[in-house]
A and B are shown apart, each in its own frame.
Chain A
Amino acid sequence: MAAVYKSLSKKDSKKSTTTDDNGIKKNKQRVLVLSSRGVTFRHRHLLNDLASMLPHGRKDAKFDSKSKLYELNSLCELFNCNNCLFFEARKGQDLYLHCSSVPNGPTIKVLAALVHTMEELHFTGNCLKGSRPILSFDAAFDKQPHLQVIRAQFQRIFGVPQGARKSKPFIDHVMSFSLIDGKIWVRNYQINEEEASKVKSAEAETDATKDTDLSLIEIGPRFVLTPIYISEGSFGGPLIFSNKSFVTPNQVRSDMRKLKATRHNGRSEQTRERLSKKGDLGLRSNIGHERQSDGTDTKMLFA
């Protein structure tokens, strides 16, 4: 009976933004968080961390395919999610994130690097599970359209919508996104409020603002995202942005290998040259050219 009532009362729950009584559109988001197969422990921990930070998120089992990503759309529909955060692991070491809004795009693909998870003990902060974060974006996110799209997408995924089911009423952490060198650095801090010291409070009273001192403690996780492309559809469709200066980790690795190889090649080349040079001198009988035997040779004279 309850189920029937629910289904009746939530007729328009599928819409991402529904109009409230006072005309303000209500922000409704649900995020499906899942990974591909072949993630390392670090990737898995990152996924767990992010999932625990998103009370509007739904964690699902590993997705089996890396080529048929469009199947995620129906999966999201199945779980009533209008956003998808998909962790794609490649070669058991590289982690790509697909951030998509599901029915009709866009999808942002980024490479996640320098991942530190919440497990690490040097992140001493802590916050309520499911409290709504303040999202702090760098000024660069205002400048270019693709960054604006990324910001909007992150707002949908990482920003907990007001009145989300498991969200807590107080605000005690802040997520910051900063763009440096075309990479997005993500940090998550606890907001630590302390009573202002006596001297300061005296000043504060004169200012007629009784505020506690704010300080931040890092909670984790921290990671760096490099945008790769933005496609128009959800897990598909034409590319509307692609990062030209993105170098794949494979490329980086192969360059490193080649660099090492050139060192070795140079050295072996030198050895070869040296040997041939020695041979040319004719100091040894077995290397290089034989000396010309003429009449004055000892062997000839005393044969």
Chain B
Amino acid sequence: MVTKGRLKMALAAEKGTDFKKLNQKKKAKEASKKKATKEVVEEKPTESDEEEEEEEEEEEEEDVEGEEDEEMGNGVNLDAIDDSDTSESSIEMEKRLPRKPKKDQKTQAVEAKPNADDDEDDEEEENEDEEDIPMSDLEDLSDAEKEDLIPHSRLTINNTSALLTSLKRIAIPSDKSVPFATHQTITSTILASEAIPDVSDDLQRELGFYTQSLEAVRQARTKLRGEKVPFSRPKDYFAEMLKEDAHMEKIKAKLVEEASNKKAAAEARKQRDLKKFGKQVQVAKLQERQKAKRETLEKIKTLKRKRQETGGAGLGTNEADLFDVGIDNELAKYDSRSGAGRGNMGGRNGGNQKRQKKDEKYGFGGKKRHGKSGDAVSSSDLSGFNPKAMKAKGKVGKSRPGKGRRKAMASR
């Protein structure tokens, strides 16, 4: 028991310092945040008492569990060794360090209840260090808010000195002492995370990468030119490419197809617009035609009236006026323009070609039956009659030989 007494003393000393720190921290936290959770408030005054209790419990357990603890202790020791490797790690790890000697000396199980408390303390420490939200607050959050949280369950390991040593081991020299061509590495001056505020915005993100690379290429080119290193490939240098020709052909085909698709779409859209617009044009045209017709008729009327007014006093008028040539001209003009097809197609307006064709095909105006049968007009039509042919009838008949002769000719 004497040894244990010493042990306890040492432990108390150690823990005492530890908890002073803890207390200070918690006070500072309270002062800054001014909102302490219930747990913290309850713990604060009773902490020292609790601590002593914990120690007593630990002792009792040690007595009881004796051998088991030693076995379990090996695992703990291994942990401790691992941890001590990262002796110069970041803050969290350093915070944990003062506790380790205790574990080593005592070789105690981690599973014991007081140690569970310790773990909680550790978690609290971590939370404080990062100014995260304490776990007790997390429970109050709604489910939707909880989804956004990233659970920080694992420890941060960031062993700066070890990182730097391994960096020194593998680094390819890329400072100014060596020519640029040996490493061809450019670290930009712009932080990508600042240039690209929103990662999910594809266009902006890709633009950020593009500008970063372009800047790097510009710098690299000047540097390489300065070192007389060939940069751009001459046109007559052919070599194996990263993508084979077949693949590039495919890419080209795809580009062509895309372009043609785009063109076709544009064309279709244009056509649609035109169709919409074309109707208006047609209506306007019809109206214009109507207007022209009205004007013409008006003109004819005025001319006729003028004619009547002037009457027989034809001394001042010229020949054309005398014989109403003006009116005839006007009428002819009108007829030739709008009423050309009127006669032949049963009084239809000949303006619409499609209609005309359809009328021809399916019939419009009058019956088509007996169209080829003779009637008074056709029988009186003697245009196809040639009297000379009638007179030369006898000669024509002679040209055909008799039957026997024809047979003989065929057999020959």
Seen from chain A, the residues whose Cβ lies within 8 Å of a Cβ on chain B are: 17, 24-25, 27, 52-53, 101, 104-106, 118-119, 121, 123-124, 126-130, 132-142, 145-146, 148-149, 151-153, 155-156, 159, 161-162, 168-172, 174, 176, 178-181, 185, 187, 189, 191, 193, 211-212, 214-216, 219, 229-230, 232, 238-242, 244-245, 247, 255, 259, 262
Q: How far is the CA of A242 from the CA of B255 in the complex (A)?
A: 44
Given contacts A178-B209, A180-B193, A230-B163, contact A137 B169 (CB under 8 A): no
Q: How far is the CA of A174 from the CA of B211 in the complex (A)?
A: 12
Tell me which residues across on chain A come within 8 A of B239, comparing CB atoms: 128-129, 168
Tell me which residues across on chain A come within 8 A of B85, comparing CB atoms: 238
A179 touches B193 (CB 8 A): yes
Tell me which residues across on chain A come within 8 A of B169, comparing CB atoms: 101, 104-106
B166 touches A240 (CB 8 A): yes
Q: How far is the CA of A252 from the CA of B199 in the complex (A)?
A: 19
B212 touches A178 (CB 8 A): yes
In the complex, residue of chain A having the shortest beta-carbon distance to the beta carbon of B184:
A134
Q: How far is the CB of A86 from chain B (nearest CB, A)?
A: 17
B157 touches A240 (CB 8 A): yes
Q: How far is the CA of A121 from the CA of B247 in the complex (A)?
A: 8
Q: Which of B159, B242, B250 contacts A241 (CB 8 A)?
A: B159
A132 touches B184 (CB 8 A): yes
Q: How far is the CA of A174 from the CA of B164 in the complex (A)?
A: 27
A137 touches B162 (CB 8 A): no
Q: Which of B14-22, B171-179, B402-410 lines the interface with chain A?
A: B171-179
Given contacts A216-B217, A240-B159, contact A126 B184 (CB under 8 A): no
B260 at the interface (CB under 8 A from A): no
Given contacts A24-B182, A136-B212, contact A106 B170 (CB under 8 A): yes
A127 touches B167 (CB 8 A): no
Q: How far is the CB of B178 from chain A (nearest CB, A)?
A: 6
Taken residue by residue from 362 to 395, chain B's Cβ proximity to chain A (1 for < 8 Å, 0 otherwise) reads as 0000000000000000000000000000000000
A142 touches B224 (CB 8 A): no
Q: How far is the CB of A59 from chain B (nearest CB, A)?
A: 15
Q: Which of B162, B188, B243 contacts A136 (CB 8 A)?
A: B188
Q: Which of B160, B190, B192, B213 contacts A174 (CB 8 A)?
A: B213
Tell me which residues across on chain A come within 8 A of B181, comparing CB atoms: 162
Taken residue by residue from 180 to 221, chain B's Cβ proximity to chain A (1 for < 8 Å, 0 otherwise) reads as 011111111111110010010000011011101111111011
In the complex, residue of chain A having the shortest beta-carbon distance to the beta carbon of B237:
A170
B140 at the interface (CB under 8 A from A): no
Given contacts A138-B192, A170-B237, A180-B199, contact A27 B187 (CB under 8 A): no
Tell me which residues across on chain B come within 8 A of A104, comparing CB atoms: 169
A176 touches B213 (CB 8 A): yes
